[in-house]
Amino acid sequence: MVDEDRRDVRQFVDELYRTESRRVYATLVRLLSDFDLAEEAMHEAFTSALVKWQEEGIPQNPRAWLVSTGRFKAIDTIRRRVRFDESLGDIAKRLDKEQDQFAAIDDENIEDDRLRLIFTCCHPGIPSNTQVALTLREVCGLRTEEIASAFLTTPPTIAQRIVRGKQKIRDAGIPFEIPTIPHMPQRLDSVLSVIYLVFNEGYSASSGETATRRDLSEEAIRLGRLLVQLLPDAEAIGLLALMLIQESRRTARTSASGDIILLENQDRSLWVRQYISEGVELIQQALLTRRFGLYTIQAAIAAVHAEAKTPEATDWTQIIALYDVLSRIDPSPVVELNRAVAVAMRDGPEAGLTLIDEILAEGTLSEYHLAHAARADLCRRMGKTNDAVNAYRRALELVKQEPERRFLEGRIKQLS
User: Could you read off the pLDDT of 290-310 as tens digits, one per residue?
Assistant: 888 999 999 999 999 999 999
Rounded to whole angstroms, the Cα distance separating 64 from 111 reads 11
* pLDDT for residue 38 is more than 80: yes
- Residues 364-401: pLDDT tens digits? 899 999 999 999 999 999 999 999 999 999 999 998 88
- pTM > 0.85: no
Q: How far is it, in rounded angstroms, from Cα 192 to Cα 27?
A: 21
Residue 168 has pLDDT above 50, yes or no: yes
**What domains appear along the chain, each with residue ranges and CATH number?**
1-105 (1.10.1740), 319-416 (1.25.40.10)
pLDDT(186) > 80: no
pLDDT at 352: 95
End-to-end CA separation in angstroms for the chain:
58
Q: Is the pLDDT of residue 1 over 50?
A: no
The confidence band for 103, taking pLDDT boundaries of 50, 70 and 90, is: very low
Find the mean pLDDT for residues 171-175: 87
Question: How far apart, in whole angstroms, are the C-alpha atoms of residue 106 and residue 103?
Answer: 8
pLDDT surpassing 90 at residue 343: yes
- Work out the average pLDDT over 45-58: 91
Q: From CA 333, how far away is CA 338, in angstroms rounded?
A: 9
Mean pLDDT calculated for residue range 189-207: 79
| Alpha-carbon torsion (48, 54, 59, 61), positive or negative | positive
In this predicted structure, the answer to whether residue 49 has a pLDDT above a threshold of 90 is: yes
* 276 within 8 A of 248, measured Cβ to Cβ: yes
Instruction: Pick the range with the lowest mean pLDDT from 69-83, 150-164, 334-348.
Output: 69-83
Q: How many residues does the chain have?
A: 416
pLDDT at 207: 55
User: What integer is the mean pLDDT of 93-113?
Assistant: 55
Q: What is the mean pLDDT of residues 280-294?
A: 92
Residue 5 scores a pLDDT above 70: no
Res 348: pLDDT = 95
| pLDDT class of 135 with cuts at 50, 70, 90 | confident
* Cβ atoms of residues 340 and 356 within 8 Å: yes
- Provide mean pLDDT across the span 208-226: 77
pLDDT at 216: 79
* Mean pLDDT across the chain: 86
Q: Which pLDDT band, with edges at 50, 70 and 90, does 209 fall under? A: low
**C-alpha–C-alpha distance, residues 152 and 307, integer Å:** 33
What is the C-alpha radius of gyration for the chain, rounded to an integer number of angstroms? Answer: 24
> With 60 as the cut, is the pLDDT of residue 87 above it?
no
Residue 15 above 50 pLDDT? yes
Res. 145 pLDDT band, cuts 50 70 90: confident
pLDDT (0 to 100) of residue 152: 65
pLDDT at residue 189, as a whole number: 83
pLDDT in tens, 237-259: 999 999 999 999 999 998 888 88
**pLDDT, tens digit, 9 for 90 and up, residues 23-35:** 899 999 988 888 9
Summarize the confidence of residues 281-298 as an average pLDDT.
92
Answer for the pair 63, 103: CB distance below 8 angstroms, yes or no. Answer: no
